[in-house]
Amino acid sequence: MATARIVIVGAGPAGVRCAETLLAAGFKPILIDENRRDGGQIYRRQPEGFTRDYATLYGTEAAKARDLHTSFERLRGSIDYRPETLVWNLTPGQLCCVSQGRHSTVDYDALILCTGATDRLMPIEGWQLAGTYSLGGAQIALKSQAVSIGHSVVFMGSGPLLYLVASQYLKAGAKVAAVLDTSPLGKRLGALPKLLARPGLLFTGMKLLAQLYRAKIPVHLGIEPQQVLGDAASGVSGVRVSTAAGATLNVECDAVALGYHLRPETQLADLAGCRLRFDEASSQWLLATDDDGRTSVSGVYAAGDGSRIRGADAAEHAGRLVAMALLEDLHKPVNVGLRDEQRQALAVMEQFRLGLAQAFPWPSAQAKALPDAAIVCRCEMISAGELRRTVSEKGACEVNRAKAFSRVGMGRCQGRYCSQAGAEVIAAAAGVSVQQVGRQRGQAPVKPLSMLTEEVSP
């Protein structure tokens, strides 16, 4: 099968390293990416005509970003690269794609999903107000467009990205009103042994925190978010939280960057029939793969944050490793030394992932405490109370059933930003574990398609 049709979805760190490894083995993969340019979200490139250098754009990760972009430039002429193309559905052996408003199909013998992740969100009263952005979105505004999401920005949530983006805003000259972290200090101390798996990265994190303190940015740990303040017409005017000491703290701002680490984009894998498993450490459903990236479906592979949330460095290793897994399955020779190197690096990063999950836990108790009036589905303005009533009045103790009754998960974002918190609300109302209420099934189209989409013959 020297002519195996191999399709990679996603041109971030995992997809690019995967393509590079396959190309070196004599294959010419098709690399499909929804973005205009390579790099994924983490190493997203600024538009043509922008002049900031790598150090300004990517900070401590500048060398890695440059290396990935350079690698991609080297291979793009030798692979079949298809940017600005959305894979919106798949059937065994065939992808349904749309690009520039035109639908087409792409056949595959092997599929490697490097679909990445999005921010993981926990609702808070008022989070639907204009001026509340996802934490990753706040970072994209700065990195890709050189703008701040507001004149005065509160960073709220938990996870390493909270400190990274806040310090990037500070460095770029934006006003950071406060950094409000739901994780208490004790959790971090407890996670130190695991985080020491990557001492360099741990040190980088501590440096970021030190920069914020040095700039006298108010940093509060162990807070409980209460409300994003403001009104429907003009948007955000502040946030209200309870501090670890139990006091009420109001912070004035016109923008909030909100996020609790990441959730994987698993819709395509789900549509392909790949098994998912509940990951206790991060309390969410992840793709079930072997250590090299084979899913439960023959011919379908996965790497990067779309598979396991281990970050960009791990995604590069996982991209190479998944390519080697495929080569092995195609009975092609693989460089065993190189493969073992990737495996060893990933084992260390898995330790670190567990440390992060422990240090910055997903605040499931917040969902239980969410007032009935708080909006869970910001697309269609469906409240926690409405969702709870589907449990108490209609007996919907499973996520997809509750979705059918309440429409939570059915709006524009298709559950990306409400479904995990929604599951927590349902589980708390039903008095069962979040694992028991299941997960929202992937549905095609995985993103909204225009009615104007044209079909073209292949």
Partner 1 sequence: MKGRFVRLAEQGRPTVKLQVDGAPIEALQGDTLMVALLTQGTALRQSEFDAGRRAGFCLMGACQDCWVWTHSGERLRACSNEVREGLDILTTQPEAIWPLHG
Q: How far is the CB of 349 from partner 1 (least distance, A)?
A: 23
Query: Is residue 174 close enough to count as binding partner 1 by CB under 8 A?
Result: yes
Q: Are 376 and 387 in contact (CB under 8 A)?
A: yes
Smallest gap from Cβ 370 to partner 1, in A, equals 18
- Integer Cα distance of 180 and 219 in angstroms: 6
Nearer to partner 1, 6 or 87 (CB): 87
Counting contacts by CB under 8 A, is residue 176 touching partner 1?
A: no
For the chain, the C-alpha Rg in angstroms (whole number) is 22
The answer to whether residue 41 forms part of the interface with partner 1 (CB under 8 A) is: yes
- Of 385, 384, 408, 383, nearest to 398 by C-alpha is 408
Closest to partner 1 by CB, 133 vs 301, is 133
End-to-end distance of the chain based on CA atoms, in angstroms?
A: 23
* Selected range binding partner 1 among 185-193, 203-211, 227-235, 424-432, rule: CB under 8 A: 227-235
Q: Which is nearer to partner 1, 12 or 205 (CB)?
A: 12
| CB closer to partner 1, 60 vs 234 | 234
Task: Identify the residue among 1, 24, 52, 273 touching partner 1 (CB under 8 A).
Answer: 52
User: Which residues, 6+ apart, have CB-to-CB distance to 96 below 8 Å?
Assistant: 87, 88, 89, 90, 103, 105, 444
Least distance to partner 1, CB of residue 402, Å: 17
Among 78, 145, 298, 453, indicate the residue that binds partner 1 (CB under 8 A).
145
Q: Residue-wise over 214-231: b if at least 16 C-beta within 10 A, else e?
A: eeebebbbbbbbbbbbbe
Residue 266 binding partner 1, by CB under 8 A: no
Cross-strand partners of 311: none
Q: Looking at 114, 142, 202, 426, which residue binds partner 1 (CB under 8 A)? A: 142
Choose among 306, 335, 305: nearest CA to 321: 335
Span from 18-26, 134-142, 187-195, 337-345 in contact with partner 1 (CB under 8 A): 134-142
Q: Which is nearer to partner 1, 284 or 358 (CB)?
A: 284
Cis peptide upstream of residue 445 (ω within 30 degrees of 0): yes
Other Cβ atoms less than 10 A from the Cβ of 234: the count is: 11
Q: Are 288 and 275 in contact (CB under 8 A)?
A: yes
Rule CB under 8 A: say whether 136 interacts with partner 1. yes
Q: Which of the stretches 214-222, 349-357, 360-368, 444-452 binds partner 1 when contact is defined by CB under 8 A?
A: 444-452
Among positions 371, 412, 432, 453, the unique one binding partner 1 when judged by CB under 8 A? 412
Q: By CB under 8 A, is residue 50 in contact with partner 1?
A: yes
Residue number, 49 or 246, with CB nearest to partner 1: 49
Only one residue has tokens 């109370």, namely 385
Strands (E) located in 218-367? 219-221, 224-231, 235-242, 248-252, 255-260, 262-264, 276-279, 284-287, 300-302
Residue 102 lies near partner 1 (rule: CB under 8 A): no
Q: Is 440 in the site for partner 1 (CB under 8 A)?
A: no
Residue with token string 């292949």: 458
| 49 counts as binding partner 1 under rule CB under 8 A | yes
Residue 309, interface with partner 1 (CB under 8 A)? no
Q: Does 250 bind partner 1 (CB under 8 A)?
A: no
Burial class of 41 by CB neighbour count within 10 A (0 to 12, 13 to 18, 19+): buried
3-state secondary structure of 141: helix
Provide the pairing of β-strand 255-260 with 132-134: parallel
Check binding of 151 to partner 1 (CB under 8 A): yes
Beta carbon nearer to partner 1, 239 or 326 = 239
Segment contacting partner 1 by CB under 8 A, of 184-192, 269-277, 337-345, 413-421: 413-421
Per CB under 8 A, does 456 bind partner 1?
Answer: no
Residue that is written with structure tokens 């926690």 in the block = 384
- SS3 assignment, position 331: coil
Q: Which stretch binds partner 1 (CB under 8 A): 40-48, 203-211, 220-228, 296-304?
A: 40-48
What does the alpha-carbon distance between residue 51 and residue 197 come to, in Å, rounded to a whole number? Answer: 36
48 binds partner 1 (CB under 8 A): yes
Reduced to 3 states (helix: H, G, I; strand: E, B; else coil), residue 166 is: helix
Strand runs labelled E in 269-353: 276-279, 284-287, 300-302
Among 199, 200, 233, 456, binds partner 1 (CB under 8 A): 233
Contacts of 13 (CB under 8 A, 6+ apart): 40, 42, 43, 68, 304, 312, 313, 315, 316, 319
Residue with tokens 């005509």: 49
For partner 1, give the closer residue by CB, 149 or 191. 149
The binding site for partner 1 (CB under 8 A) comprises 34-36, 41, 46-52, 56, 118-119, 128-134, 136-138, 140-142, 144-151, 172-174, 232-235, 254-255, 265, 378-381, 407, 412-413, 416-417, 447-448, 450, 452
